[in-house]
Amino acid sequence: MMLMLKNMNRRSFCKAATLGTAVSFPQIGNSAEKSTSATTVSSSQIKLGLSTYSYWHFKPIKVAIEHVIDQAAELQVSGVDILQRQLENEESAYLQKLKRHAFLNGIDLIALSVHQDFVSPDKTSRDENVQRTKHYMDLAHSMGIPCIRLNSGRWGTTRSFDKLMENKGIEPPLPGYTENDGFKWCIDAIAECLIYAEKTGVVLALENHWGLTRTPEGLLRILNAFDSPWLCALMDTGNFLEDPYPKLEMIAPEVGFVQAKTYYGGGEWYSLDLDYERIGKILKNVNYRGYVSIEFEGKEPAETGVPKSVAHLKKSFGIA
In a domain, 30, yes or no: no
Question: Residue 216's domain spans which residues?
Answer: 39-317
pLDDT digits over 54-103, tens only?
A: 999 999 999 999 999 999 999 999 999 999 999 999 999 999 999 999 99
pLDDT digits over 133-169, tens only?
A: 999 999 999 999 999 999 999 898 888 877 887 878 8
Domain count, the chain: 1
CA angle 116, 163, 136 (to 5 degrees): 10
Residues 63 and 55 sit within 8 Å (Cβ to Cβ)? yes
- In DSSP terms, which residues pair with 148 in a beta bridge? 112, 204
In a domain, 14, yes or no: no
CATH at 203? 3.20.20.150
In a domain, 213, yes or no: yes
pLDDT level of residue 28 (50, 70, 90 thresholds) = very low
pTM as predicted: 0.86
In a domain, 7, yes or no: no
In a domain, 201, yes or no: yes
Q: Report the C-alpha gap between 26 and 257 in whole angstroms.
A: 9
In a domain, 313, yes or no: yes
